[in-house]
Chain A
């Protein structure tokens, strides 16, 4: 038997590879973090000569950063809530049922999941146009003329909160359904059956037993939905035009397009703020990713 060596060659290779990979992965972030506190930020990596919090402050005082943050939070938050509820119900049903439609439904979810949103965007736009027309007629008949615009900004399908929330939810739903279903598959039915024996109806079952039991699964699905919808670029790009409804990714993108007047410090601070919720959510949800996908290849 060989004696104990400090580093085998294999270990050295592993460390070396991982270190290079680490540098590769982290390097692009160095600029944005430095620029966000650099009073003289430019597009290029440089050591800041001073540290300032001005850029972060400016986000909420000047410009529209605060507005973009608010819009993103509202729409993505509502999306997450909607997906957790609808996906929670659906995932539970899919897990517990043994009906004839179970297998086709699950296959359909997989097929829907692989459909690229970029291919759906044109017909989706037309569908939203028509829905918007209907909603507009409805709103016009109920709401006094001066509030029509504000009402449409909330309930409109094109350039309105409601439409965007529904679209984002639909996009995130397949994955959420799958995660929640997988989760319930692993959860024994005993508790529910016990509650049934005690005479609880379906709502009591849901509230008292299932939700606490399913919290980790719902949490994972919710977090992944949040990350997905938070980063979505195509849907807000296509459906939102009003500047007071604008979301963070588009605000950032458009601010970057103003060739002559780009304030890189401000943009970097905005990017960092935009990044943070997604990174935090990702960290929290990470454990559940593995579980979901290994759940898919039990065969």
Chain B
């Protein structure tokens, strides 16, 4: 009784409730801080931004240990769509299906964002509030100078030949695909996965929970990696060390030592834009994009989730946290991230926002987002991601060929998820 009274007294005297939001990397934290004041005012609460270690892998490791301990922040982002399914099956995320569907922003979400956010059973646990559109980015100016064609490659062979031509005529690296264990989720999400739609195995996840990893498609993609590595068409040494993307993307590409790489719209702003460490002058003109060619023709542009907000299932302020989640998926909040990081808001009405229209590099991409393909993800994808990292690591260290690399991937997934899961 005394406790109840004192509890009531205390709560009526307290200031606004506090929601804790996790974020990492200075640019992201700045973007988040831009939106915080308006969200605080709108909901009458206070928001505390908790800074996490910067590299994606360390961020996720730290977050997971806290989720396991039950003292994680109320709100956080997942790095990739492939992380979400496993977070859900571990019971870490609160379902937000009802709140999202009742939200006025829902109608404005791109279909692809809706599909990426919804799990196989129709429930939504994390909202893809922004999208990363990934293609191959190349130095148009340097290709023109060397007299190499800048036309869209029509097949994997065409792409490889182009890379070989680059090497022969300029001596520089032709094409970088993220690979190796150090790159963390990047080997899968920003490299391997981009070639899946155009391969003989267009989707990895099946609705029955099995994963297509034994087929020729996977082997062919790893074969592509092997050719790039063995023929010295991509830098290898930086990928074996910590923070492997720093030298190739922030140093080699602007300097012209690397001519093409997979990347997303963030590269225009975060990696090579005017505020970056080594900007590429006149970046929109000098850096062109190719869609990722299919193995035997066609092309695809892969769309994947970014700023995938989720609510901690054990949060003490579930209702409030969900409201903050929706507020952070507003046009203004997502445009703030777009300005500093270069991803696309997952909403059609962002096109009407003046600040967004000022980001001329991104406007055409937003218009074409619905034409992108996406990779269905499923429980076990974080294991697949680590498996691909290990398989490509073996290729980087020239320890095996494509068949051997596939065996590494399959063995790893089978060891951890069981034999029946792998098809």
Contact = CB atoms under 8 A, between A and B. Distances in A.
10 contacts: A128-B69, A129-B69, A136-B70, A136-B71, A145-B7, A158-B69, A159-B71, A254-B54, A259-B54, A259-B243
A257 B53 contact: yes
Nearest to A243: B51
A61 interface: no
B65 A152 contact: no
B54 A146 contact: no
Interface residues of B, number: 24
A243 B71 contact: no
Contacts of B69: 128-129, 132, 158-159
Q: Which 6 A-B pairs have the closest CB atoms?
A: A158-B69, A144-B10, A146-B14, A129-B69, A243-B51, A241-B66
A159 B70 contact: no
Contacts of A259: 54, 243, 246
Interface string A88-102: 000000000000000
A146 B68 CA distance: 22
Q: Most chain-A Cβ atoms within 10 A of its Cβ — which of B11, B51, B52, B69?
A: B69
B71 A156 contact: yes
Given A125-B65, A146-B11, A243-B50, A132 B70 contact: yes
Interface in A129-185: 129, 132-133, 136, 144-146, 148, 152, 156, 158-159
Interface in B36-57: 50-55
Contact of A144 (B6, B54, B58, B62): B6
Interface size class of A (residues with CB under 8 A): 20 to 34
A128 B14 CA distance: 31
A125 B62 CA distance: 13
Nearest to A130: B69
B398 interface: no
Given A144-B10, A238-B65, A241-B66, A152 B71 contact: yes
Contacts of B6: 144
B68 A129 contact: yes
A146 B13 CA distance: 11
Interface in B60-75: 62, 65-66, 68-71
Contacts of B54: 254, 257-259
A156 B70 CA distance: 11
Q: Most chain-B Cβ atoms within 10 A of its Cβ — which of A128, A132, A259?
A: A259
A261 interface: yes
Interface in A227-249: 238, 241-243
Interface in B7-46: 7, 10-11, 14, 26
Contacts of A125: 65
Given A259-B246, A260-B277, 4 more contacts: A144-B10, A152-B71, A241-B52, A254-B54
B11 A145 contact: yes
Contacts of B53: 254, 257
Interface string B141-174: 0000000000000000000000000000000000
A242 B277 CA distance: 29
A241 B7 contact: no
B84 to A, nearest CB: 21
B50 A242 contact: yes
A152 B316 CA distance: 14
A238 B58 CA distance: 11
B65 A241 contact: yes
Nearest to A244: B50
Contacts of B26: 258, 260-261
Contacts of A129: 68-69
A159 B66 contact: yes
Contacts of A158: 65-66, 69, 71
Contacts of A133: 70
B279 to A, nearest CB: 13
A261 B51 CA distance: 15
A79 B222 CA distance: 52
A223 B246 CA distance: 42
A141 to B, nearest CB: 9
